[in-house]
Structure 1
Amino acid sequence: MGATAMAASGPGTGRFDQPRSGFAPESVTLTPSSPEEAGLDPRPIRDAERQLRAWTASDAVEGHPLYSGGAGILVHNGMIVGRFAAGGAVRFDRDGRALPANRQVPVRDNTIFDMASVTKLFTSIAVMQLVERGAVQLSSPVARYLPAFGANGKGSVTVEQLLTHTSGLPATVNLWEDYPDRRSRIGAVLSIEPETEPGSEYTYSDLNLITLGELVGRVTGKPLDRVVREGITQPLGMRDTGFNPPPSKLPRIAATEFQTEPDRGMIRGVVHDENAWALDGVAGHAGIFSTVRDMAVLAQALLNGGVYDGARILSEDSVRAMIRNHNEEFPGDAHGLGFELNERWYMGGLSSPVTAGHTGYAGTSFVIDPMSRSAAILLTNRVHPTREWGSVNPAREIWATGLSRALAVRPKAGRDSWFSGLGNDGTATLTTRSLGARNRDVTAEFNAFVDTETTDTLVLESTTNGSNWGTVPMSVRGPGAPTEPVRELRGSGHRSWWTVRAQIPPGENVTLRWRFTTDGNYTGRGVHIDGIRVSDGSRVILDAERRPETINAQGFVLRTR
């Protein structure tokens, strides 16, 4: 049995409810597979693939595609369990009209996409490599390595604050229009005045990573593109990843936007981001091009703790530091060193406090989930031919959530559990038959697996007349469970079953209802309810595990996983 197969057969394989700790074995490499071979449910993955293809249709949204074309890859335990490629790498003219068929170029598995801000991860890795060598310290002022950066009150800003976007720098400046050449543009970035006191708040800023790209160059004596090539892409065998791709690769590169300001025409093979373009295509915040396969290699290297196929680019400690939240004082803005954390809007059901990744403005997303040793990568050219066609966030979320729902949540009691994987703006219910007249409190007990965003909730309700429902306080036990009685269950990242107990007030014709409700955005892995049991003193009056027909399900289904 090969190394990858041995790793795939270990504890927790194919499971969402058995979160893993630590990294995957160093020997794990990417292997073509199928969901079934990986122990996954193929249906959510196939559904996601179909939806992503459908969104490339010419009339998918408001008379145009959600994105011109895209490619995606899903990885679990080193096994490639999902892939899709659809739509056009080159498809439209400047006005959004479809090109003649002989001038269109379809997206294929090896299509090269502009990664946009996903470039920030490569720059961050390059910085961490310098930290490992002792050439840079995270706690040191940036001005120690780039003296010009100390201007205008930035003398205390640290390397770590740039990586975590807590430097106080503004989000961006218009380098391409306001400054004449690369030297003056970099000078403008280094001399800029902070908008807020360094360390006082979170502001996502391209300038942080442009600065770090310059820091890497100053410390190594090499340009950033060479540092990335020699330290990351070459060791990992990422042959189609880099800045300023050569003309020989143009036939495989997806077009992006038709730009009139600046006057660049239809952009293809050159970075879309205007500031990166003004910096000759090499900048710390944008400029990398890549393929889904290459990005999957990087993902697996990180899941392995910084090593892939014998090539180590980071230590385990460095990877661990990069995906740990350094912004706990800024709730809602969790951030590692370069990596975003726990962002449900594109990480979907894979979200957790250690789920890490990044997106790119051109339509890309990169997600790694160490707790299930999985990755979801989606590359699109959503700005082709115009950025005005909208956001690909629904596609990003569905791709990651498809993988999460393919991973099993095994029933807590018996052979199946009630499952609801509602989409947005939905309600699902489980309702008991009438429990009759009760002259004292009855006890309801059940198990719940809840993976939702904070605004999607599961409640237990009771009624005595069938129309006026009241929520019932619940006491909950289990990893990540609330410590005080609550009237709503919500949460993500714990990936564990909870044991729930509630006291139901007495009354005539008491009926119970479990209600799961989602809002307009960002659903998670979903909700499982199992082992429903209601007792009146020592007497069991409802046991849904033995008699599921006593439950009326709307939006819930019995599932074995």
Structure 2
Amino acid sequence: MHALTAADRPWAAGAVLLAGRGPVIAVAEAAGWAVRYCAYDPETDAGVELPPDARVPATVDTPFDLASLTKLFTSVAAVQQIERGTLGMDARVGDYLPDFHAAAAHGITVRQLLTHTSGLRPELPFHDCPDDATRLALLRAEAPTGQPGRYRYSDLNMLLLQSVLERITGRSLDVLVQEGITRPLGMTSTAFGPCRGAAATEDQRRPWAKADRGMLRGVVHDENAWALGGVAGHAGLFSTAPDLAVFCRALLAGGSYGPARILGPDFVELLLTPPGLGFAVDQPWFMGELAGDGAAGHTGFTGTSLVLDPRTDTFLVLLANTVHPRRRPPDSGPRARLATRLARAVI
């Protein structure tokens, strides 16, 4: 773990690793700094370090910006509505959102949103829009640019799914996540931001970023989620490793944790069965040797990842701020190596 956060240019300024099998937490360890830098200096291509006494060490209970791990919660919220019969897996988005004309005209389905097979492009520049009405108009007018049915990862899938969920329930996504997932499971440290005490992310400035916001801490890193008010289907949640362990345990136990049930076993199976609904399945590039027999999980741009292995009843949570003090080309090698070590330990 300390190798991830050591050296002048570490993989992450700070990181938290939590791994378990069944009800047992086998490893819970933190290393490095939740806040190490006050800025990024483009001239030296290095972070401007805080004085040692001003830095904030990472602890096992440090909240991190989950980035795209948020998509897992949006997906669970959707499958909850499928279980209740209020949402159809193969229903067309236009049946719920007739005013989203492009999605309706192209027959995009709920299943395509959950499996990233709608053909929608990866993102839209909501961060450059002057107001919410313009952002909504962009999403309503967005038609697929890729071949429907072929995998193409897109934040827009989860934003459309968010719109569907909010339309059919009359509740906002943050309320759906809280009432349907985090509150029943006792995940008291998991919520959409702002989040006090969170690990810092980026000195967010152009040209390396899409907005000029300065050093970020406790507010969502993703520029589009920020433009959308911090609550978005693709990003915006903050959480801790112990909270995410509860989430993992609930799914591995068929949807229940203690007296709480968030999904029935058949619907957990639906969520995790290849190709996965929101979850990626058997992806060695970040799951290492855990991949291959039904392991499911996801990564987040800020340095986060989560893997569940139903076959061995194990899970791995890695929270890190790899974008502190600024974003770099993604490197999932450490994620894969840690997952491989867990896989070998279980075997």
Q: CA deviation at 1:400?
A: 1.1
Q: CA deviation at 1:183?
A: 3.0
Q: What is the aligned partner in structure 2 of residue 340 from structure 1?
A: 280
Which amino acid is the alignment partner of residue 139 of structure 2? V
Q: What is the aligned partner in structure 1 of residue 120 from structure 2?
A: 169
Query: In the alignment, is the contact (CA less than 8 A) between 1:273 and 1:287 conserved in 2?
Result: yes
Q: What is the aligned partner in structure 2 of residue 91 from structure 1?
A: 36
Tell me which of 263, 278, 287 is aligned to 2:236: 287
The residue matched to 2:99 in structure 1 has which SS? Answer: helix
Cα offsets for 1:450-479 (capped at 9, x unmatched):
xxxxxxxxxxxxxxxxxxxxxxxxxxxxxx
Q: CA deviation at 1:166?
A: 0.6
The residue matched to 2:297 in structure 1 has which SS? Answer: strand
Distance 1:254 1:171 in 2: 26
Could you say which structure has the greater relative contact order, defined with CA pairs below 8 angstroms and 6 or more residues apart?
A: 2
Q: What is the aligned partner in structure 1 of residue 340 from structure 2?
A: 401
Which amino acid is the alignment partner of residue 168 of structure 1? G
Query: In the alignment, is the contact (CA less than 8 A) between 1:182 and 1:280 conserved in 2?
Result: no
Q: CA deviation at 1:376?
A: 0.6
Query: In the alignment, is the contact (CA less than 8 A) between 1:67 and 1:383 conserved in 2?
Result: yes
The residue matched to 2:61 in structure 1 has which SS? Answer: coil
Q: CA deviation at 1:131?
A: 0.7
Q: What is the aligned partner in structure 2 of residue 218 from structure 1?
A: 167
Q: CA RMSD in A?
A: 1.3
Distance 2:160 2:16 in 1: 31
Q: What is the aligned partner in structure 2 of residue 195 from structure 1?
A: 145
Cα offsets for 1:514-542 (capped at 9, x unmatched):
xxxxxxxxxxxxxxxxxxxxxxxxxxxxx
Aligned 1:399-478 pairs, distance under 5 A: 399-408=338-347
Higher alpha-carbon deviation: 362-371 or 215-224:
215-224
Q: What is the aligned partner in structure 2 of residue 385 from structure 1?
A: 325
Distance 1:86 1:371 in 2: 29
**Number of aligned residue pairs:** 337
Tell me which of 245, 253, 260 is aligned to 1:311: 260
Paired-residue identity, %: 47
Tell me which of 119, 135, 141 is aligned to 1:185: 135
The residue matched to 2:32 in structure 1 has which SS? Answer: strand
Q: Normalising to structure 1: TM-score of the pair?
A: 0.59
Tell me which of 121, 134, 156 is aligned to 2:107: 156
Distance 1:256 1:295 in 2: 19
More helix by share: 2
Query: In the alignment, is the contact (CA less than 8 A) between 1:354 and 1:370 conserved in 2?
Result: yes
1:360 matches 2:290: no
Query: In the alignment, is the contact (CA less than 8 A) between 1:67 and 1:392 conserved in 2?
Result: no
Q: CA deviation at 1:392?
A: 4.1
Aligned 1:47-58 pairs, distance under 5 A: 52-58=1-7
Distance 1:119 1:103 in 2: 30
Query: In the alignment, is the contact (CA less than 8 A) between 2:16 and 2:59 conserved in 1?
Result: yes
Distance 2:79 2:133 in 1: 26
Distance 1:135 1:338 in 2: 19
Which amino acid is the alignment partner of residue 72 of structure 1? L
Q: CA deviation at 1:153?
A: 6.4
Query: In the alignment, is the contact (CA less than 8 A) between 1:153 and 1:194 conserved in 2?
Result: no
Distance 1:358 1:298 in 2: 13
Query: In the alignment, is the contact (CA less than 8 A) between 1:339 and 1:356 conserved in 2?
Result: yes
Q: Normalising to structure 2: TM-score of the pair?
A: 0.94
Aligned 1:17-32 pairs, distance under 5 A: none
1:324 matches 2:267: no
Distance 2:236 2:216 in 1: 13
Q: What is the aligned partner in structure 2 of residue 101 from structure 1?
A: 52
Extract unaligned runs of 5+ from structure 2: 41-46
1:242 matches 2:182: no
Q: CA deviation at 1:98?
A: 1.6
Q: What is the aligned partner in structure 1 of residue 63 from structure 2?
A: 112
Q: What is the aligned partner in structure 1 of residue 157 from structure 2?
A: 208
Query: In the alignment, is the contact (CA less than 8 A) between 1:114 and 1:271 conserved in 2?
Result: yes
The residue matched to 2:214 in structure 1 has which SS? Answer: strand
Describe the shift of the 1:218–1:152 C-alpha distance in structure 2 as closer, same or farther (beyond 3 A).
closer
Distance 1:184 1:307 in 2: 41
Q: Tell me which stretches of 4 or more aligned residues in structure 1 moved more than 6 Å.
A: none
